[in-house]
A = this chain, B = another copy of it.
Amino acid sequence: MQKTSKFVLDLYNILECEDFTSIINWADCCKMFQISDSKKFEDIVMKQYFKTTNIQSFYRQLRIYGFKIKRNSNCQKVFHHIYFAKGQQQNLSKIQKGKSLTDQISGEMYNVNQIMKENQELKRQLNLMILFQKRLVKQFEIHQTIQKAIIDKMIKLSNLLCNERIHQTILSEKKIENFVNLIDGFQPELLVRIIRFLLKKIDPKTPINEIQYSPTPFPFNAQI
């Protein structure tokens, strides 16, 4: 809890001591006050309580402490502050300078040193983040390289696969062609040898071994 400032306390005492009720007094259910004689206020009250007898300076102080100027039914100035009322002495310490200013420049936030320290810390954090970000970017480049390498491999693999199929197809056709050539009768001896070879390669456990060979000659037909 901040202590009540001298200006506010003086003002409260001026009103409470009741020595100057003809010059300055409570108004509107003692929630406000008014100065009924400005000249006397300057010459008597201010002369006694303040270092100046200029009522404008007194008004300036009121504004600094957040008092608002209103007008009563007679259009006279009446001063008001939510924490300034007769008998509400416990609230006086809540009346602080510059509370009507925007909050960001009041209180401890206004401590230059603190802000400058904070700035230093922020700069440090920022630099750390920039460093980390650079590392991330580097890591990204590595990933990009790896990804590119993977894609290249896949393309090669894909091409290889494609070529192999084509090759296999060609090879397959070639085999058939060769086989046809053989059974066309131009190389009957070779065909016999191949069939023998193939039969040997067949798994003995397959039913092929139980098959009885037919004596029927191959029903070749030249008119195909």
Chain A residues at the B interface, C-beta cutoff of 8 Å: 51-52, 104-105, 110, 112-113, 115-116, 118-119, 122-123, 125-126, 129-130, 132-133, 136-137, 139-140, 143-144, 146-147, 150-151, 153-154, 157-158, 161, 168, 173, 176-177, 179-181, 183-186, 188-189, 192, 195-196, 198-199, 201-202, 206, 208, 211, 213-222, 224
Contacts and interface: CB of A to CB of B under 8 A. Distances in A.
B206 A186 contact: no
A213 B143 CA distance: 64
Contacts of A202: 173, 176-177, 180
A132 B87 CA distance: 57
A52 to B, nearest CB: 7
B115 A208 contact: no
A218 B215 contact: no
Given A105-B112, A133-B132, A211 B140 contact: no
A151 to B, nearest CB: 7
A125 B123 CA distance: 10
A201 B154 CA distance: 34
A213 B217 contact: no
B143 A154 contact: no
A156 to B, nearest CB: 11
B201 A184 contact: no
